[in-house]
Amino acid sequence: MSITTAEELFVDELKDIYSAEKQAIKAYPRITKAVSSEELKQALETHLDQTKGQLERLDRVFEILEKRSGGKTCEAMKGLLEEASESIEEVDEGPVLDVAIIAAAQRIEHYEMAAYGTVATLAEAMGQTEIHELLTQTLQEEKETDQLLTGVAEGVNSEALSANEEDEAEDDEAEQSKSRKTAKSKSK
Ligand code: FE
Ligand code: FE
Ligand code: FE
């Protein structure tokens, strides 16, 4: 299908976001399961609930436009979720994986912010007041989630870094007791 008008492009962009939200809803539980921090888990669970509401808003948008929501796959979200899965496979569970999951989640939020920003602005230009309102509400939620994650990252980052320090301290201690033993056996 070739797109010739701004209205057609608008619908196409909306289908892309619809696909993105659906993919996110499917992937969120698996990502949340891999999280250690209670605060992060909470933030992701809250956003999963929000995301279900966002999909309903899009259903309403398609209803107003009298268009179908399906038929498109958001390849970018697919890729972002693949990267999240990669982290879950590669990074040891704990605060370090939490840092990686926040990184992945914030990439997703920024993608959504860009996408909703575009369609909200287009809706306004088209005089689609109700659609503009619905899309702006979602855009706001994505922004708030991004900021929330930045806040959560503060605690998680320092935990991840101090876990590393503890490991090093243990290593140092082991090293020292080893050299003490060596010194003893030498003095015999
Ligand atoms: Fe969303
Ligand atoms: Fe996309
Ligand atoms: Fe989101």
CATH number of the CATH domain containing 23: 1.20.1260.10
Q: What separation in Å is there between the alpha carbon of 13 and the centre of ligand 2? A: 8
Q: What separation in Å is there between the alpha carbon of 112 and the centre of ligand 3? A: 6
Q: What separation in Å is there between the alpha carbon of 12 and the centre of ligand 1? A: 17
Closest C-alpha among 106, 97, 93, 104 to residue 157? 97
State the ligand closest to the CA atom of 78. 2
Distance, in Å, from the CA atom of 158 to the CA atom of 125, rounded to the nearest integer, reads: 45
How many domains would you assign to the chain? Answer: 1
Residues with CB under 5 A from ligand 2 (ion): 16, 74, 76
Q: What separation in Å is there between the alpha carbon of 51 and the centre of ligand 1? A: 5
- Average pLDDT of adjacent 10-residue blocks, the chain of 188 residues: 92 98 98 98 98 98 98 97 97 97 98 98 98 98 98 96 74 69 57
Query: Does 138 map to a domain?
Result: yes
Tell me what pLDDT residue 50 has: 98
Query: Does 72 map to a domain?
Result: yes
Tell me what pLDDT residue 183 has: 63
Distance, in Å, from the CA atom of 181 to the CA atom of 188, rounded to the nearest integer, reads: 11
List of residues 6+ apart from 54 with CB closer than 8 A: 21, 138, 141
Q: What separation in Å is there between the alpha carbon of 150 and the centre of ligand 3? A: 14
Query: Does 21 map to a domain?
Result: yes
Q: Which domain holds residue 95?
A: 6-155
Tell me what pLDDT residue 176 has: 72
Query: Does 31 map to a domain?
Result: yes
Tell me what pLDDT residue 110 has: 98
Q: What separation in Å is there between the alpha carbon of 95 and the centre of ligand 1? A: 25
Q: What separation in Å is there between the alpha carbon of 19 and the centre of ligand 2? A: 8
Closest C-alpha among 70, 77, 85 to residue 34? 85
Query: Does 93 map to a domain?
Result: yes
Query: Does 167 map to a domain?
Result: no
Q: What separation in Å is there between the alpha carbon of 100 and the centre of ligand 1? A: 19
* Structural contact between residues 58 and 70, judged by C-beta atoms closer than 8 angstroms: no
Query: Does 164 map to a domain?
Result: no
Tell me what pLDDT residue 42 has: 98
State the ligand closest to the CA atom of 116. 1
Query: Does 111 map to a domain?
Result: yes
Closest C-alpha among 92, 104, 88 to residue 44? 104
